[in-house]
Amino acid sequence: MDLPIVVGVDGSEPSLRAVDWAADEAALRGAPLRLVYASLWERYEGAALAQDFGKPSEQVMAEDIVRTAAQRARLRHSDLRISTDVLPEEPEYALVREGHGAAALVLGTRGRSGVVEMLLGSVSLAVAAHATCPVIVLRGSHDNQVRAGARGRIVVGVGERATDSAALRFAVQEAELRHATLEAVRAWRRPVHESTDHPLLAGEPARLHEQQAAEVLEQALKDAPEGVDLSRRTVEGPARRVLTDASHGADLLVVGARRNPGHLGLQLGRVAHAVLHRSACAVAVVPERA
């Protein structure tokens, strides 16, 4: 099945950068590109009420937004198969539903009504926490250089349950598509109770934990395709900080998020939540089986 790359658009600069990324992603995969504008305004207010107040119809504005976004994508890749839709729904729900039939969802960090000081918009956070497909959230770069494949480096965080990791498979695929280096990072920490001041044992607990981290990396990467340029790195420290540091100079940071079907709250985990707010590059949150 030819699954599309879906991008949420709202006319803001972050969403237009998301269109650029999504167009590049669709072109690399040979996949269709689907542009979606979702808003509840039209359902509750309606075009007639807008005319009564001398304002333009939200529906007309929305159609203009998706039309402009489609033109932008087509200028970037003239042979893309592009479809558009305007949905009178809350964007969080509409985009999560769109993700059921998508290869990936691409979002900007915040929309037109976002507060400048916010680190991450509520729509991006909610979609990343509930979507059933990978969600790529573009962090707002101050130098406006958020674009696909600029640096040739993909970073993936490797967790405890590294075997059969959807996040790792997604990262490998991205590295292959972009001919980029894949840097697999495993964070490790030495429990406080294992520290010792004995001179003969100094450093021994740390060495053992670092060795275990390296073994987890090797196990995770044992089935990686031979053609992928792999880099392995173990770093002492909390995963949130380690991965945020690793995001500097990368095109994409990939992390997994375990989904619990019976849980109604945000299903991100502390690591994914932290890097979505602090990463220096785009972040892909990939659902993992619980």
Of residues 76, 79, 115, 90, the one with CA closest to residue 36: 90
How far is it, in rounded angstroms, from Cα 54 to Cα 49?
A: 9
User: Averaged over 119-136, what is the pLDDT?
Assistant: 84
Q: How deeply is 65 buried, as exposed, middle or buried, from its count of CB atoms within 10 A (0-12, 13-18, 19+)?
A: buried
pLDDT at 198 over 60: no
| 259 or 223: which leads in pLDDT | 223
Give the three-state DSSP class for 36: strand
Angle (CA) 18-23-29 rounded to 5° is 125
Contact present, 167 and 270 (Cβ < 8 Å):
no
| 212 or 49: which leads in pLDDT | 212
- Total Cβ atoms within 10 A of residue 194: 12
Q: What is the pLDDT of residues 148-157, one digit of tens each?
A: 556 799 999 9
Q: What is the pLDDT of residues 145-195, one digit of tens each?
A: 455 556 799 999 998 776 779 999 999 999 999 999 999 999 998 765 555
* Mean confidence (pLDDT) of the chain: 82
Whose tokens are 């558009």? That residue is: 84
Contact present, 249 and 153 (Cβ < 8 Å):
yes
- Whole-model pTM: value is 0.85
Please report the pLDDT score of residue 208 as a whole number: 84
Please report the pLDDT score of residue 115 as a whole number: 38
Contact present, 182 and 199 (Cβ < 8 Å):
no
How far is it, in rounded angstroms, from Cα 193 to Cα 27?
A: 52
Q: How deeply is 88 buried, as exposed, middle or buried, from its count of CB atoms within 10 A (0-12, 13-18, 19+)?
A: middle
Long-range contacts of 41-49 (CB under 8 A, 24+ apart): 42/86, 42/88, 43/88, 43/89
Q: Hey, what are 59's tokens?
A: 């529906």
Please report the pLDDT score of residue 261 as a whole number: 60
Q: Hey, what are 221's tokens?
A: 């990467």
pLDDT at 265 over 90: no
pLDDT at 201 over 80: no
Annotate 102-162 with three-state secondary structure: CCEEEECCCCCCCCCCCCCCHHHHHHHHHCCCCEEECCCCCCCCCCCCCCCEEEEECCCCC
Cα–Cα separations (whole angstroms), residue 195 to 8, 23, 206: 49, 51, 8
User: Averaged over 99-112, what is the pLDDT?
Assistant: 84
Give the three-state DSSP class for 35: strand
